Structure formats: C-alpha cells, structure tokens
Amino acid sequence: MNIYFTILFELLFLSSSILLLFKLRTKLGLAPLYIFLGAIQYLQALTGSLVSFQILGDFTASLGTVIVFSAVLFAVLLIYIKEGVSSARALILGIVISNLLITVLFKITYIQDLATRNLNRIEPFSLFTIDYKYFIIGTIILLLDFILLAVVYQFLISKIRKQYFFLILFISLFTVLLFDSFTFNISLNYFSEHFVTFLLGDIIGKTILALVFSFILYTYLKYLDTEKYNASFIANQHRDVFSILRYRKKYLDLKVEKQEVELKLVSQSETALNNISDGFVSLDTNWRYVFVNKRAGEILGRSPESLIGKHIWTEFPQAVDTIFYKAYLKAVESQETQHIEEYHEALDRWIDGRAYPSANGLTIYLADVTEEKKVDIENKMLLSLIETSDDFIGLASLEGKPIYLNVNGRKLVGLGSDEKLSASMTDFFPEHFTDKILNDHLPNIYKNNKWRGEVQLKNFKTGSLTPIEMSGFLIKDSTTSKPMALGIVATDISKGNEAKEKLIKSEQLFRRLSSSAPVAIFQTDKDGGCNYVNEQWIKYSGLSFEEAMGLSWTNALHPEDKDRMMHEWQETVSKETDLLTDFRFLNKNGMITWLSAKTTGLYDSNNNLYGHIGTLVDVTDRKKAEDQRIKSEKYLDSIINNIGDPVFVKDEQSRMLLVNDALCSIFNLNRADIIGKTLAEHVPLKERENFLKNDKQVILDGIENVKEETLSFDKMEMRTISTKKTRFIDSTGNKFLIGVIRDITEQKKAEVALKESEEKFSKAFESNVIGTAILNKEKKIIEINEVLTNIVGFKRENMLGKTAEEIGLFKFDSQKNLENENKLWSQFSKNGYVSNIELEYLMQTGRELFILISLRALRLNNEDHILITVLDITEKKNVEKELEKHRNNLEELVKIRTEEVNSKNNELQRMNKLFVGRELKMKELKNIIKELQSKNDN
C-alpha cells in the first residue's frame, strides 16, 4: 500500500508543479518550467530502470519510464495547446539537447569522480553513473514521441468536435505512450527473458497514466484556465497536422506577406478615403491637420495640400465658439463620439458631422446636407398636406403588392395602424371583381398611365362593401421614365349614394414612399426582446431572422456603439418612452451601416404597453440633393395632380407657393399666373376680406378651419365651395397654410333637387289608399307605410327588419300561398319587375286576403332594394263572390221553376189525355146504351 501511495503522491506532485509553473508563466516566464522539466529528466536519467515496482503482482514497470516520462509528455502537450507550435518545438529541442548534454556531463563527472576515489582508495561508487545505452536510445525515442504526439493531437483536433475534447487528449497520450512502450522495450529488452513481463507492465502503467494525465489536463483547460482567449481549441483546429515540422518556414512567409499587405492597405486606404462621398479629416492631438480627403477639401473650400500640418482654428478662426468647435472639444475631452447637424455660417452650408476621438487625435466625417435640408422641408410640407386629407391613399409595387396605406385608407378597409397589409391589392376588392382589376384596370394603367372609375372596397373585418371613386396611376422615374410603383387615390362616395347620389366633401391624404430608399422595420415585446424584423433589417444587419430574435439582435451593433445603445434601449424599455437615435450596424462581412432609429410604443385597447415598433433608415449613402428634389417634385406632381380637388400651399402673406392642376382649372388660370399671388384681387371685396381673415386666423392659432363659402371669381358663375385650411411650421419656424378646396355647387343643387324628390316620394309613400313597403336584398322590410300594416294586420314595429316568413305574415304550409310566392318572385327575377298581379293569400288568422301587387327594383345606398305596392281588393272580391252566388241561386231557382212547370204540363197533358179517353169511353157507353135501349125497345 505504501508504494502505491508514493506513486500517487509523485504523480500529483509532478502534474501540479507543471501546472503551477505554467500558470505563473505570465509573471516568471517559461524558464522555471523548463528548468523543472530538465530536473525530472535528470531524475529519469539517474534512475532509469533501476527503480521499478510491480503492477497487479505479476508485471514490472520502471518508475522513471512510466511516471516521469508521462509527466514530460503531459507538459509538452500542454505547451503545444496553450503556447503554440514555436514554444512546443523549443521545449522539445531543449529537452533533446539537454539530454545529450547531460550524457556528456555525466560521463565527464563520472571519470573525475572515479579517479578521485581511486587516489583516495575509496570503494568506487558514483551518483553520476548512468546506463548510456538506455539514456541515448531513450532520448531518440523521446524525440519521436514528441513529434508523434503533436501530429496525432493535431489530426484528431481537426476531425473531432469540441465536446469530445477529453477523448482527443486521451487518445493522443495513449497512442504515444503505447508507441513508446513497444519501441523502448523492443530496443532494450527484446532479448531478455522478462521481455513480455516488462512490455505488459509498461503498457498497463502507461495506459493508467494516460487516463489520469488526460483527466488532469482536460480539467485544467476547461475549468481552471481563466485566459479563455488564449485557450486553444478553435485556433488549434486550423493548424497543419505537420505544423510541428513546417512551422518556421510558414511563419517567415507569413511575416513577409503581412508587411506587403500592410503597405498595400495603407495605399488602398488613402485611395478609398479620397473616393468616398463624405468628407474625411484627421487631426493630431495638437489640432493640426494630418489628412484631408478631396471631398472634405471641397466642403471646406480649400485644397487638402494647403491644410496639412496647419492648425484647424488658425485656418478657420470664425468657427471658434460655434457648435462645431464645442462638439470637437467635447469629443476630445470626453473621448466620446459626437454628432452634429447644423448650419455652418462660415461655410454657408448645412453640415452633418461626426467626430471620433482617439489617443492619436480626432477623426471627423463631414457631409454637405444643404440640398437635403431643402428637400426635407419640401417633404415635410408634402407630408403635412397628405395628412390633412380624409381620402384613401395607397401605394403598391408594379406586381400589385401593397406597400403603404394611409390612416384613413386603413380605416376604410377595417385595418388597424399596426396590422400588416395583405399580399395582393386584389384582396381589397370583392372576389368577383378580381378578374376586372387584373384584366382591365391594371392593363389600362400600364398602357395609359392612369385609370379612373367607380369601384367597391371590401372591409376586412365586417366584409361590407364601400363604393369609392378611384384614380389609379403609374409613378415613374423622372430620369428614365421607367415605372416604379402604382399609386391609388380614392374617395368614399357611400354617403352620396345614401342620399341618392348626393355629393359629399372628402379630402385626400398622401404619402410618398420611395422605392429606392426602403425602410427597415422591427418589433419587440414590452421587455425589449425582438420578435419581428423585415427583410431590409436583415440586409442591414447581416443576421438571419432567427439570429435577430430576443436580445440577439444586439450582436449586429458596432462594438463602439453597443454599450451606449444597450443603455439607451434599456432606458426606453424601463421608462416606456420613445427612442430617437443614430448608431451603426457591423455585419459579418465587416460592412458598417449608419442607421437612424425611431421607435414608438404599442398599446392595447386598455392603453397597456405590449411592445415597441421601430424603423431604421440608412443614412450612410446619401443621394445627391438634386436627385432627391427631382424625385420629390415627380412624386408631388404625380400625386397631387391626380387629385380631383384643388390643393394649395400659401405663405404667411397668403401668397400661393404650391398649387395643383385642379386649382388652376377652377380659376381658369395658368400656374405661372397663380404662384406668388393671393388671388384676392379677383374676388369681390367682401369675399376677399373673409378669405384673408380666415388665412390669418389659421396661421396665427394653428386651428384647422373648414368652411363653406361662395366664390365669385371675375366673370365666372358664382360657385359654392368648401375649404379646409391647416397650418404647417417647418424646422426653421416658417409658417405655411395648406388648404384643400372642394367645389360643392352641384352638390348643393343636388341637395335641393333631392329634397324636392324626397318630399314627392314621402307624399306618395304616405298614401292612404295604396300600401307601400321597401325590402332590402335579403327581402327584409326596411320601411312600410300605415296602409300596408292595416292590410296585413300587423304593427309596423313588429315588421321592420324582418322577412314575411319571420313575421309569419301568412301560412307558409298552404300550397296556394307557396304557389303565389313562387309565381311572384320568379317573374320578378325574370323581368326585373312585376306589374299588378292578383293574388289570394290565406293569412295566419284564417282570413282570406285578395291583393293587387306590383314589384319594382330600387337602388338605395348603392345597394339593390325592392319597392312593393299593394292594393287590398278583398272587399271587391267578396262582392263579386256574393254576386256570383246570387246569380247561381237565381239560375237554380229558374231551373226548379222550369222543372215544376214542365211537370205540371206533363200532368195536364196526362189529365187531358185521361179526360179525352173518358169522353170517348162515355160516348162509346152512350152508344152501347143506345144500342141496348134500341134492342129493348125492339
């Protein structure tokens, strides 16, 4: 038991000593570890095979070979994994060379010691006596073991996954120790009678030690090594299997290649910086120009060469104490990035600048955004104009996929502000209308650039249909005239249909969506975890949809922005506020994208926050301001000139700044004759005062004004108009008046005509002779007059909103009633009307009802209805029946009387015949009597 305890102690001592010295390498270097390994090499050389012990009672193992040698391999593998090929090679060569030197030194020392003992006649014994054959052969085999260890480990690490790292360590040590056992014993003990015993003992001992040392090394690397980035599983995977032999040449080649690449990168960097669209300036710690690219020179109005080495505030003293001066100073003092977007008075430009401090000075990116600012003001005016309308405004791709729908458009089709649009624009219309859109409307738009007509929109929630006056048109690129998108402007005309084609007031909302500048959209839960991103977000970030979920989206943040963005986002989430900031994405390919982010909260019906939604706008590649202006003008012309109503924008003096074709048309003037003028001089004084007064009031208080008024323009016929005016304030504080005019002259006339028509209809409907009712397309009664309720014997309130069957108007189990219904409705379906059919119904009370009924189709609220007129002819029919009855009774009486007369005649004839016969008989008797009397007389 003592020998095994000693072995265990020795094993733990050697392994812990190696690991401790390796752990202290950052403070002491690797020299102490190398010295320690040299010392145990001396121990191995000194003991050799002299010290041995029994394994399992029958097998002999050498202490030096089994434990000390295994500990050396353990140290070599540790250094190869953690310190790399060069350190491992140095250790291997050092051990081999030290072994050779120890051999020579031992020989010299042994000779000296032996001579000294002979002179002093001391029994010859020396600590420096070693088995040279054993030691030299062992050294050669040790060199082979080292090389084999590196090759086997590197092969396994490149083929086997990380979770099997312990198995890699064990197989590497076991393979080398097994190789060493066979090689060493065959070289030294092959001819010994104990060869098999030595070999098996060696194999058993080294197998156990391979398992133990593998466990110790695995535990250290996985759980005790705190220098994770020096740990080496992933790095080691990409080494060459024979890197232990070829590393030096590859290192020198890479060193030369690195120097060439560095020189090339410097040249490429300068070229790239001179070709970027933004200005780039580099200042040293003394505020002197180190580098200025061409674009920066253009913005600053100086050549880059004239600025190099010059002091920035000496060259531009007028910029001192400006916001740019303060921002640059703050960037240097705080070592934090500063962003400025401000008008630079000295340069007479709007500058978007970003200052990035470092230990070497300050790097500044400059972008001239003067034209973009002008475009931005125009866009805001356009957006405000769009937001003042009540119309349906939509934008779709050329393939018919909806891209945008304004607030009123969403309301019209039953979509909330956060609900996604459907996949196809045909989904907004009734199913039976799909072919018409695809085969008629869209080809018309592509061919003629526009289509206008009346269609119906479908409500996604209720399924109801809303009639609209729609204008569809192509939006084209102003340069190439290539179609880019489909625009739709529509007006709800349902109220006009409800009032028998009455005209109604509507306003148009517009929104320009640039297909060349798509927006990234993302959504999170209330804790800030991402649950949705669109394709543009994925494109900006370089992450997949799955990689962006939860808080993993932060992996796309640039390292320099990550801490700031995480802090701002946590503040936004915890305080339930909106976020407006700029930051960078760094994708997997090293591409940096600057983004402007804006988020807002999502609330449920109880006003509880359930998430956040945001947009990211790419502000890296700024387009030229002229292109932006052209696109803005093109969108403005394409959209507002497709509006049927006149639209205008005025300044604070009521002078026209922007008008559409409809406004030019209503005043019969060219645009050039309108822009810059008030047009008040063309109207009577009273109307002029009202116009200007309203303009000033809206400009002053900003309250939206909607007013109906008359317009008498020069010699034109007086018109009735409805004008809606709103105020817009741009970023510089300038106030503008935005208005929409609707000509409601015809509407007013229609209202008068409608009122007269309604009065006529009302008088006819309330007739006290004819029963009248109106049915909808489900045959439910929506209106009925008192005459008809009296005819059928039901109360009006019990009949409205119900069909005849639901009311129980008559017996539906009567065959006669069913035949009447079939006859009535089949004739209506066939002809579209029914005129004065006489029908007899058996009512639920058992009463027979005779009516004269007519049906006519009626269009109300843009829906089909049926007008029914009923005349009760029951009394007439009853009189006719009574007359028929009397006629039949009379005929029967005549018949009876005739029969009686005939009977009497027959009886009289019989009696006559009887009397005549009797007379003849009497006469005959008289003759017989006479004959008898004659005979008697004779």
Share of the chain above pLDDT 90, in %: 4
Q: Of 187-201, 292-306, 630-644, which range is least confident?
A: 630-644
Quick: pLDDT tens for 916-934.
Answer: 666 666 777 777 777 777 7
The residue type found at 247 is Y
CB 372 within 8 A of CB 631: no
The confidence band for 559, taking pLDDT boundaries of 50, 70 and 90, is: very high
The residue type found at 75 is A
Residues 6+ apart with CB under 8 A from 689: none
Three state DSSP letters for 753-765: HHHHHHHHHHHHH
CA distances from 578 to 334, 371, 384, 550, 613 (A): 26, 29, 22, 19, 10
Q: Of 41-50, 407-416, 823-832, which range is least confident?
A: 41-50
127 or 742: whose pLDDT is higher?
742
> Within 10 Å of residue 337's Cβ, how many Cβ atoms?
16
The confidence band for 765, taking pLDDT boundaries of 50, 70 and 90, is: low
pLDDT value of position 505: 40
CA distances from 474 to 433, 443, 462, 635, 661 (A): 21, 11, 31, 10, 17
Residues 555-562, mean pLDDT to the nearest whole number: 90
pLDDT value of position 530: 92
pLDDT value of position 789: 85
CB 453 within 8 A of CB 470: yes
Q: Of 225-239, 263-277, 784-798, which range is least confident?
A: 225-239
Share of the chain above pLDDT 70, in %: 79
pLDDT value of position 557: 92
pLDDT value of position 149: 82
Residues 547-572, mean pLDDT to the nearest whole number: 90
E strand residue ranges, 414-477 = 450-458, 465-476
Q: 363 - beta bridge partners?
A: 282, 356
pLDDT value of position 524: 92
The confidence band for 235, taking pLDDT boundaries of 50, 70 and 90, is: very low
CA distance 370 to 359: 32
Does pLDDT of 288 surpass 90? yes
Does pLDDT of 326 surpass 50? yes
CA distance 31 to 52: 31
Quick: pLDDT tens for 854-886.
Answer: 888 888 878 888 888 888 888 878 877 777 777
pLDDT value of position 506: 34
Residues 68-81, mean pLDDT to the nearest whole number: 83
Q: 119 - beta bridge partners?
A: none
Quick: pLDDT tens for 98-133.
Answer: 767 766 776 677 677 666 766 665 555 555 555 666
Quick: pLDDT tens for 466-484.
Answer: 888 888 888 887 778 888 8
DSSP 8-state secondary structure symbol assigned to residue 710: E
Quick: pLDDT tens for 795-832.
Answer: 888 888 888 888 888 887 888 888 888 888 888 888 88
Quick: pLDDT tens for 706-737.
Answer: 888 777 766 667 778 888 889 988 878 888 88
> Within 10 Å of residue 856's Cβ, how many Cβ atoms?
14
Average pLDDT, the chain: 78
Cα–Cα nearest to 19, from 106, 103, 81: 81
DSSP 8-state secondary structure symbol assigned to residue 514: -
Specify which of 238-247, 386-395, 415-424 reaches the highest per-range mean pLDDT: 415-424
Coil, strand, or helix at residue 194? coil
Q: Of 156-160, 176-180, 757-761, 879-883, which range is least confident?
A: 757-761
| Sequence-separated contacts (24+) of 66-70 with Cβ below 8 Å | 66/202, 66/205, 66/206, 66/209, 67/7, 67/10, 67/11, 67/14, 67/209, 68/14, 68/40, 68/41, 68/43, 68/44, 69/44, 69/142, 69/180, 70/173, 70/177, 70/206, 70/209, 70/210, 70/213
DSSP string, 589-609: TS-EEEEEEEEEEEE-TTS-E
Cα–Cα nearest to 374, from 343, 345, 338: 343
E strand residue ranges, 800-886 = 833-842, 848-860, 863-872
Backbone angles phi and psi of 754, in degrees to 5 = -65, -40
pLDDT value of position 283: 92
The answer to whether the Cα torsion of 220, 224, 229, 233 is positive or negative is: positive
CA distance 364 to 621: 17
The answer to whether the Cα torsion of 556, 560, 562, 566 is positive or negative is: negative
Does pLDDT of 305 surpass 60? yes
pLDDT value of position 504: 37
Q: Of 230-239, 280-289, 344-353, 418-427, which range is least confident?
A: 230-239
